Amino acid sequence: MTNRFIRHTLRPTPLTAGLTLACSAFHPQTADAGTVKTRHAHSRAAIHKPVTKQISPVQASAGAATASSTSAHAVNTGANILKSTPNSESILVRGRSMNVLTQDMGFGRMPQDVLHTPQTVNVVPKVLMEQQNVKSLEEALRNVPGITASVGEGEGGMSGDQFLIRGFQAQNDIYQNGLRDFGVYSRDSFNYDHVTVIKGPSSEVFGNGTTGGAINVTTKVAHLGNNYSGSFSGGSASYYRGTLDLNQQIGKHTAIRITGMGNENDEVGRNDIYSHRWGLAPSIGFGLGTKTTFTLEYFHQSDNRMPDYGVPVITRPGAAIGKPATEFGLNRKNWYGTTYDQDNSSTDMLTARFKHEFNEHITVFNDLKGGLYSRYYSASQPGCNTTCVNNFFTDPSAALINRRGHLGGPEPYQQNDWSVQNVLSTLAKFNTGSVRHQIIAGVDVMHVYDRRKNYAYNFNGVNGTRADTTNMLNPSVYQPGLLLGELGQYAGNLVTIPNGVGKKLYKTGDATDVGAFFSDQVWLVPWFSVKAGFRWDHWNSHYAATDGATTADTRLRQSQDTFNPNVSLMYTPTDNAMVYFNWSESTTPLGLYVTNSSEPMTANGAKMHPERSRLYEVGAKYNAFHGRMGFTISAFRLEKSNAILGSDSNSSVIASSDRQRNQGVELSASGEIMKNWQLIGTYAYYNSDTTWSTTAANVGKQVIYVPKNSATLWTTYTISPGKPWNLMFGGGPTWREGVWLNAANTARVPANLDWSAVISHSFLNNHWRVAMNGYNLANRLNYANLFSDRAVPAVGRSFLFSVSANY
C-alpha cells in the first residue's frame, strides 16, 4: 500500500475540474469515497469550520476518489486541509493514510477529528485491518494497548466480546456509529471501515458507563460512485473465509451498498474450538452530497461457535502465586467442554441516520437504532479444587476437572433480547463578538430488554448436584449419564442463583435511560479554546427471577439520576498541533449490563451507590512532515470509587466501596515515515493500585487485568508500487506484560508476545492482490481471554493465504 499526496492550488472558478484532476491520480484500490473540504486560509477562526464542496462523481473504474457527504457520522476518508493564499483555496487529497490524527470520530456528537479531540484516542484504520487481514473486533483491538479480553464473570457466564479498557469493564461500551451495541456476541469485522477507542470516562458523550473508555465502530455505508470488491482466504486449522463489498450509485444523490461474509474455521492450538458464521449488511443513502442526508442500514450476523473457558489457574503447593496450568506443562490444546456446549447467536440491527444542515451555523442529527438478539448458550467452566491441584503435581493421571464450574453452573439458557435507542442532537456554530462558539446539545433515549430461559442437566435420572468431571490430562467431551432436559424438565437441577434468589426457571431484566447532554466549546482567541459540558441521565432498571422450585420469586428495581461533567482546555498554536487538559467523570450504576449479565442486580446490592470514575489528563498531538506522520503523548490519572470487584466463589456481584487508581503515560506514532514506508506504533505504561478497600490486605495491590507495560507495532514497506514486480512486506509485535487475575494479587498470567507478518503482491493494474499473513510466528504460549481463575490459551502459529479484487 502506498500513501500519495497530491496538492493543487485552485481558483474558485475551476474548482470541480481541478478536483477531478487530483482524484484521477488515484487507483480505486487506494482511494475511498470521501468528503473534500475547503477553507480560506486567511481566517484562523475557520480552522474547525470546513465547508463541504460537492463534486460530480468520477467512476472508480477510471481511478477516482469520489467526493461524497453521506452524513457527519460517516467517516471522512478523503481529505485534509492546508493553508493557502487569501484569494485561493487549497485541497489535499489523501489516499488510505496510516496517520490516524486526520481521522474523523465518525458521529455528530464528536464532530472533530482525532487531532482536535482532547482525549487519548486510538484508531485502527481500514488500511491496517486490510494488511493484517483482521476478521473480528477482538483482532482489531489487539492493535490498541491497554485492552484485555475477559471470558465473562458471574453465574451463567457471558462470553461474547467482553473487553476491558485500562483494566475496567467495557462490555456495555461498544458502539456502532455512536449508538450502543447491546448484543452479547463475537463481532465479525466484515462491515467495519475503522475502529476507534476513546479512552477515559466519556459519560458526557455516551452516557452511563465508559469508565475505561468507549469502543466505536464506524461501519461501511453507501457512498456516491461505484466500487466492487471481494476476497477469499484460506489457511491453518481449516480456515475458509469469503467477503463481498458492492457499492452502486443509482441516482444523482442516491447509492446502495451491500457487504457480506461467510466464515468457517477451527482454532490452531485448541482442540474442538470452531466458529461457523455468516453476515450481511446492506445500506442505502439518500441525499448524498446535499444538505439533507438519510442513511438506512441493516445488519445481520449468525454465528455457531464453541465457547472456550480455557484452562484452570492453579497454585503449586508451597508457592504463593497461581498460574495457568499450561505453565506447568499441561497441553495447551486441552479443552474441558462436553458435547452439549454451544454458543449459537443471531443478531439483527436496523439503523436510520438523518442529518440536515439548516445553514452554515446549525446542523441537526437524529440517529435511531433497533436491535434483536437471540442466543442459545451452554458452556463448561473448568475448575480445579485442592484435590485436583495436589494430584496434578503428584499423580497427574488422577487429577479431575470439575466442568460444572464453581458457581453452581452454568446451566444452558436461551437468551432473547431487544433494544431501541434514539439520539437527537444539534450542532450550532456562532460568534458572540470576537468569541466563537460550538455548541452540541441533545436528548438520548434508550430501552433494553433481556429474557433468559434456563435449561437443566440431569445425571442418570437423578435430580440434585452430581459431579461432572473429566481427566485433567486427557479430557473427554463425553460424560456418561449426563442428559440435557427440556425447558424446566429437571426443576431440581435448575441453576442456583446466589444471594438468596434460589433455583429459578426465568430471569428477566430491562432498563430505560433518558439522558440530556450539552457542551459549549469557546474560542477565546483563535489559538485557545475551552470546552465545558455535562450529561444528566435518569436510569431505571428492573430484574426478576421467577418460576422456581425452592424460594419465592425475586423482583428488584433500581432508579438513579446521574450527572457527569466534562471540562477541556485546548491550546492550538498551529493547525497541526494541540496541547490539551481534560477533566471528566463517568457513572456506572449497578444493573447497567442488562444483556451482558444474567444477574444485573442482587437483593443486597439493589441500593448500592453507582461506580464513579474521574479522569485527569494532559496531552499533546502533532501532525508532522506535511501531514504524513502523526504523534501523540498523554499522561493521565484515572480514579474509580465504589468499585465492584466482580465474582468470588459464592456470588457474581460483590458489594464494595473500594477505590482504585490507574495512572500512566501513552504514546503513539502513525503515518508514512518516508515514501512507501508506513508505520503505526503505540506504547502504554500503567501504574495501577487499590487505594482503599474493605479488605485491608488488598490496599496497594495492582488492579486486576491492568498490564504495567504494553506496546504494539506494525510497519510495512512497498517495493516498486504500481509496477508489475511490486511487493509489500512487513509485520511487527504485540506485547503485553503479565497481569493479575484477582484483587489479592495471588493469581497471574505471564506476558503475551505475538509476532505477525504479511507479504503481498498486486497485479492486473493493481485490481487484484494476493497475500500471505502469519500470526504468532514464534508459536508462543499466549493468553487471549482472562477470568479470575481461568485463562484461555491464544491461537498458535498460523498462516492465512488470501486473494482479493477491487474495481
pLDDT in tens, 474-494: 999 988 777 776 655 655 556
**Which pLDDT value is given to residue 21?**
31
Q: What pLDDT score was predicted for residue 107?
A: 86
**What does the pLDDT look like over 235-264, one tens digit per residue?**
999 999 999 999 999 999 999 999 999 999
Residue 5 has pLDDT above 70, yes or no: no
Which grid cell sits at 62?
477510471
- Over residues 287-300, the mean pLDDT reads 98
Tens-digit pLDDT profile for residues 567-581: 999 999 999 999 999
Beta bridge partners of 277: 263, 303
Top pLDDT among 483 and 26 is at 483
Query: Using 50, 70 and 90 to split pLDDT, how confident is the model at 90?
Result: very low
Q: What is the pLDDT of residue 654?
A: 45
Does 630 have pLDDT greater than 50? yes
At residue 686, what are phi and psi to the nearest 5 degrees? Answer: -120, 130
Task: Yes or no: say if 281 and 191 are a contact pair by the CB < 8 Å rule.
Answer: yes
pLDDT at 656: 52
Quick one: average pLDDT of 724-748? Answer: 95
Residue 484's region, left for phi above 0, alpha for psi from -120 to 50, else beta, is: beta
User: Which carries the bigger pLDDT value, residue 82 or residue 750?
Assistant: 750
How far apart CA 220 and CA 130 sit, in angstroms, is: 14
Q: 147-150 and 783-786 as β-strands: parallel, antiparallel, unpaired?
A: parallel
Whether the per-residue pLDDT at 58 is higher than 50: the answer is no
What pLDDT shows up at residue 352?
A: 98
Bond from prior residue into 317 cis (ω within 30 degrees of 0):
no
Q: Could you read off the pLDDT of 653-694 as tens digits, one per residue?
A: 444 567 899 999 999 999 999 999 999 999 999 999 999 888
57 by Cβ neighbours in 10 Å (0-12 / 13-18 / 19+) ranks as buried
User: What pLDDT is attached to residue 335?
Assistant: 96
Evaluate whether 245 touches 227 at the Cβ level (below 8 Å): yes
What is the model's pLDDT at position 550? Answer: 63
**What is the pLDDT, as a whole number, of residue 653?**
44
Q: Which helix (H) or strand (E) holds 16?
A: helix 15-23
| Residue type present at position 518 | F
Asked whether 623 and 629 are in contact (CB, 8 A), the reply is yes
Percent of the chain as helix, strand, coil, to the nearest 5: 5, 50, 40
CA pair distance 422, 217, nearest whole angstrom: 17
Classify domain 121-266+282-806 by CATH number: 2.40.170.20
pLDDT at 105: 87
Q: What percent of the chain has pLDDT over 70?
A: 78
pLDDT tier at 609, thresholds 50, 70, 90: low
Residue type, 284: I
Q: How far apart are CA 486 and CA 80, in angstroms?
A: 60
pLDDT of residue 601: 55
Nearest in space to 295 (alpha carbons), one of 115, 129, 108: 108
CA–CA dist 757, 729 (Å, integer)? 8
Predicted local distance difference test score (pLDDT) of residue 285: 98
Mean pLDDT of 288-297: 97
Helix (H) or strand (E) holding 362: strand 362-378
What is the pLDDT, as a whole number, of residue 188? 96
Indicate the pTM of the whole model: 0.85
Share of the chain above pLDDT 90, in %: 61
Residue owning grid cell 450502543: 180
pLDDT of residue 591: 65
Burial class (CB in 10 A: 0-12, 13-18, 19+), 387: exposed
Q: Per DSSP, what are the bridge partners of residue 304?
A: 276, 344
What is the per-residue pLDDT for 434?
A: 93
Listed in order, strand segments (DSSP E) in 387-434 are 400-402, 413-432
Q: List the beta bridge partners of residue 219.
A: 192
- Residue 482, CA distances (Å) to 61, 403, 455, 460, 467 in order: 60, 12, 13, 7, 10
The Cα angle at residue 127 between residues 124 and 128, in degrees rounded to 5: 50
Do the Cβ atoms of 715 and 730 come closer than 8 Å? yes
Which residue in 493, 301, 311, 518 sits closest to 425, CA to CA? 518
- Alpha-carbon gap, residue 618 to 632, rounded angstroms: 11
Return the sign of the alpha-carbon dihedral for residues 779, 333, 326, 644.
positive
Computed over every residue of the chain, the mean pLDDT equals 82
Q: Which residues of 324-340 are buried (b: 16+ CB within 10 A; e: fewer)?
A: bbbbeebbbbbbbbbeb
Please, what's the b/e burial string for 560-570 (b: 16 or more CB within 10 A of its CB; e: otherwise)?
Answer: bebebebbbbb
The average pLDDT across 304-308 equals: 93
Instruction: Give me the residue spans of the domains in the chain.
Output: 121-266+282-806
Q: Mean pLDDT, to the nearest integer, of 212-233?
A: 95
Partnered with residue 215 across adjacent β-strands are: 174, 197
CA distance 268 to 357: 51
pLDDT reported for residue 65: 34
What Rg value do the Cα atoms of the chain yield, rounded?
A: 26
**pLDDT at residue 464 greater than cutoff 60:** no
What does the pLDDT read at residue 557? 84
**68: confidence class by pLDDT, cuts 50, 70, 90:** very low
Other CB atoms within 10 Å distance of the CB of residue 700: 11
pLDDT at 63 > cutoff 60: no
Angle at 765 between CA 761 and CA 771, to 5 degrees: 20
Q: Output 349 or 410, whichever has higher pLDDT.
A: 349
Q: C-alpha cell of 329?
A: 506443562
The pLDDT of 462-480, averaged and rounded, is 78
**pLDDT tens per residue across span 530-556:** 999 999 999 888 888 888 766 788 888
Q: Which three cell numbers stand for residue 203?
A: 459519560
- Residue 178, pLDDT > 90, answer yes
User: Are the beta carbons of 637 and 619 closer than 8 angstroms?
Assistant: no
Strand partners, 472: none
Rounded to the nearest 5°, which phi and psi values hold at 187?
-85, 125
pLDDT surpasses 90 at 380: no
pLDDT at site 551: 72
Does residue 802 register a pLDDT over 70? yes
State the Cα angle at 646 between 644 and 647, rounded to 5°.
Answer: 145
3-state SS, 722-778, equals CCCCCEEEEEEEEEECCEECCCCCCEEECCEEEEEEEEEEEECCCCEEEEEEEECCC
Task: Provide CB contacts within 8 A for 804, sequence distance 6+.
Answer: 229, 230, 231, 232, 768, 769, 771
Residues listed for the chain: 807
Give me the pLDDT at residue 759, please: 98
Cα(113)–Cα(517) distance, integer angstroms: 20
Residue 194's closest CA among 252, 251, 129, 253? Answer: 129
Segment 354-383 shows an average pLDDT of 94
Q: What does the pLDDT average to over 104-131? A: 93
Give, in order, the Cα–Cα distances in Å from 406 to each of 382, 448, 496, 566, 651.
8, 29, 11, 42, 10
- Is 478 strand, coil or helix? coil
Q: Which DSSP symbol is given to 509?
A: E
